Structure formats: C-alpha cells, structure tokens
Structure 1
Amino acid sequence: MEAIRFAFLVILVVILGVEGQLGSGFYSSSCPRAEDIVRSTVEAHFNRDPTIAAGLLRLHFHDCFVQGCDGSVLITGSSAERNAQPNLGLRGFEVIDDAKSQLEALCPGVVSCADILALAARDSVDLSDGPSWSVPTGRRDGRVSLSSQASNLPSPLDPIAVQRQKFAAKGLDDHDLVTLVGAHTIGQTNCLFFRYRLYNFTSTGNSDPTINQAFVSQLKQLCPIDGDGSKRVALDKDSQMKFDVSFFKNVRDGNGILESDQRLWGDAATSDVVQNYAGSIRGLLGIRFDIDFPKAMIKMSSIEVKTDTEGEIRKVCSNFN
C-alpha cells in the first residue's frame, strides 16, 4: 500500500511540474469523452492484434524525438518525417486516424493528434498488463514534418555514448534511457536489425560474444543467414505480450536481441538500473518499474510540446490544415 501511495505522489509531482504547459484532464469541458474514445479505439485494435500496442508506443516515442511531441510523424508526403529511414517500420497510424475521425465527429477541431498519440501510448501499456497513468494533455500539432530532421533518432547500432547523447539532448538522463528502453518488453524487431550479430559480428564469421551462446542457436533458427530479413522477432523472449521486467532479466543474462539493448549491461551507470529492475524479487521490482515507467513517459511526452497558440489542431492527422 505504501508503494502504491508513493507511486501516486511521485507521478503527481511530475504532472504538476509540467502543468504550466500541459494539464491533466485538459479536455474535461471541451470534449469530455476524448480519453474514453481513444481508449476504446486502441482496445478494439488491440483485441484484433495485440502487437499493435508496441507499435503505438514506438510511434509516440519516435514522434517526441523529432520536433517534440507534436504529431509530426503522422504527416504523409515524400519528404515528411514519416518517410525517414528510421521510421519506415512504424505501425499504428490507422489507430490514430480511427480515433481522430471519431473525435472530429463529436468535438471538431478540439483534440490534437499529438494528444491522441500520447493517450494511445498510455492505453497500449495498460492493455498489455502494464501500469496506467494520468496523461497531461493540451499539446497542439506541429506544422513542420521533414525526414531530414529524423537523424537524431536512436538506432539499434548506437553505442552507449551515442544513446546517452541522444537522450540527453532531449532532457532525459541515464535512468530515463534504461526505463524507456524497457518498453521493448512488448516490442518486436526485424531479423535485418540484429542478424549481423549472429553470423558476422567481427567480419570473420563469429557471433557477438555478449550474446548468451545458447540463445545464439535459438536466434539462428528464427533468422537463418539467408532468410527473410523482414521477419519479426519478439524483443522479450519470455513474455512478449506482457509489460513486465523480463526484458531486463534478458539483458542481464545476455539475451538482449538488439545490440543497443545489450550494451546497457556493459556500461556501469546503465547496468545498475538494469540490475535494479531485473533483480531477484520479481514482484517488488516489477512494482518499481511500474512506478518509474509512467514518470519517464510523462517526462518524455513533454519534450518541446506546442501549446496555447502554437501549431494547430489538425482536422486529419496525416495532413496539415
């Protein structure tokens, strides 16, 4: 009970910290059913395909890291952010469009696409047996979306120093980095992004020595050297549909699939956080991750937000007004 009370107080403090820009319950008067509609839409898509939860979480993350959390990743067009190389595998656009069309019918010109993204990310975690939290809302949609500005997105190939720099540039520290990467507990990736670790890591045909060798054999069966590089593999081999701490146990035990994830265990600062989450007392440490993840998400979803008269409220999420 004390842990739950502490969690609530910590999250409340974080929310109050961004209250000058965003506020909990922003649409309580202007569109009272806004959050319920987003939730029911996400739930309907989730019931058909539970993997969409990870897609929506990643979509929000990629949006916030370029131009801030302003829905710029949703814009279509040959030079738009959505078509940058790191964004080509993004999923969940149809869920956001579905929710937006319902909200426009009920409350035209009120609810931003950026806020729908933030709410959908929260609901995706909750539906995956993870924590829920009060999402500060009031974001407005950006009027710029350029693929050339997506170069700062984290990459599976990034060493810790580069990961740290990219997160720090957005006001996120080492603890935030590890906590947010924990979203990979429900994530997937393509064989293309890690197969090099299995067959030719040192250009001499060796596998990456940081991978548990028993796990190498399993991964080779999933991703043959001449197989389909677009085949999707769960980033958490133990509970891919459940938002829990098993991802951190995998990283600790050499069972991280992406090189950038496994490198978290090789750095003193980030490995301490991984160990704290992975630990040996599953229940208590699971609660701790449940406390930390909402805090990190509220912090990330407040990056460079547009409020008041900035930006616009799009009528269609994929197009500027």
Structure 2
Amino acid sequence: MGKLQDLWLDFFQSDRNEESWWERKKALCHDREAEIVRISGRGHTFEEISYANKRNCKYMLHLSFLLKQQDEFIQEEQVIPFEYRMENGEIIEHREISMPMKHRDTPVLTSDSMRGASSERFSYDRRAAVQYAERWWNSYNPVYRTFDVDCTNYVSQCLRAGGAPMRGAPDRGSGWWYRSDNWSYSWAVAHSLRWYLSGSSTGLKGKEMESANELIPGDVICYDFQGDDRWDHNTIVIGKDAYGMPLVNAHTDNSRNRYWSYEDSRAWTPDINYKFFRIGE
C-alpha cells in the first residue's frame, strides 16, 4: 500500500460501506457545488507493537480539506483513528478503529458551574456555545469525563457553555445534568438526548424544525443512521456554508466545519433519518 509518510493518501483508496469513501466525499462536494482546493494530512502513532521486521500500529490521522464554494472558503477537518500493519517498511493493511478514550477522574463541579440548575427559563448564549465547540472540537475539557462514544457528551458540554440549565439530579433517567461522579442518560447517550430535547418543557428544550437550512449556530442535529428509530449521533451547528446549509462540529470521529448531512461518514446509510432542533425556544 505504501510508506508511512503516504498513509493518509492510502486512506483514500480503502473501501468503506461498499463504496469508496473518497468517491462519496467527492460526490457530496459536487452536490454542494464546492470545489476541493487542497487536501492535507498529518498524524501520529499512539500505540505500537514491533517484532522482527513487522509492526502493528495504531495511528491518529488528521485530515484537512480546503473547500471553495462560490467565493467563500471553508476549512473542514476530521480526525480518524485506525490501525495498520507494516512489513519491511511497507504498509500492507489498514482499517478504521474506534476513537481511543478512557474515562478520567475529574474535579468536582463548583457551585458556579451549576449556576442556573433550577431555572425554568434561560437565555441561550449561542456565541458561547459555538466558541466552546470550536475550542474543544479536537480535545477534551478535563472538567468533564470523556467517553468511548463522546459525541453527546461533547454536545451537552457546548449547550452547558451556552447557559443551558441542568435539572433532574441525581436520577439518571430524569432531566439533563452532569456531576463529576454521575450524569443523566440524556447528557451522554445520543438516543436519550434526542428524546429529551423534544420532550422537555422547561429549561433546556428543543423546537423541532422542518429542514436543516432553518437551523442557526448553536442548534443541534440528531442522526439515526440505520433508520431504525435508534438515534446514534449528535452534532452542534457552528456555522453556515455559502448556500445557508449548516456546518457542524462533533466528537467520535472528531470533526470541524463538516457538512451537516454526514453522507461522507462511515456510518451513513441510505436509510438515515435526522432531527433538527432549535435550542432555547
């Protein structure tokens, strides 16, 4: 397949979901009338086992795409973990893996961080939510735990940064809340947050919108990749492209300025369903 320095180029040639990921990526850009101006990649090996002339390694690949749409430029980024095998300096096999995460001990949240926990109404600071999403899209705030599947935990942190009030502790099945040693299902589980947003009548709640182009920065998109009513993923809107369509940030895989539809995702299927939530209304 190639040398280690060309690993990110080899990545484009691998088959995913019965179709080349790279072909689907190009097709999505074509449909958006977005030109891929430049692609770059970098990364690092974070685990390695060597024996004789062979190496088994785990690698974190950071891809950057510079897109041009009308007269605007978009820098899209995605971080993808995978493992590869080498023999005699040549890569002979590689495959994607889950993002390597470990639960971490964290400090107890202060009373100030719980501010507004009992509020029935709140003013959502979208700018603060988006700033948080940009600050932590590819890293992890040590105030919170991280999870093997971290997408909903990340979106919840963004909502909290925007002033969303927590309620329901210590009942994990009630409300939306986080403490250093515990958290609600809605805080960290994609399926639970989707239903919390549509069902909550006080504090943090979501107003379901008909289409993606109605969303604004700070809003949330939920994804049911298989179309089986089990919600798998959440993202936060951080901007719009030249045609007014949402660009999102996410964890698992870590992404920035990604087109909202996720047609270039390894999890995407033709049966995908979406929910679009306006936050704070």
Asked whether the two chains share a fold, i.e. TM above 0.5, the reply is: no
- Give 1 or 2: higher helix fraction: 1
Higher strand share: 2
- TM-score w.r.t. the length of structure 2 is 0.29
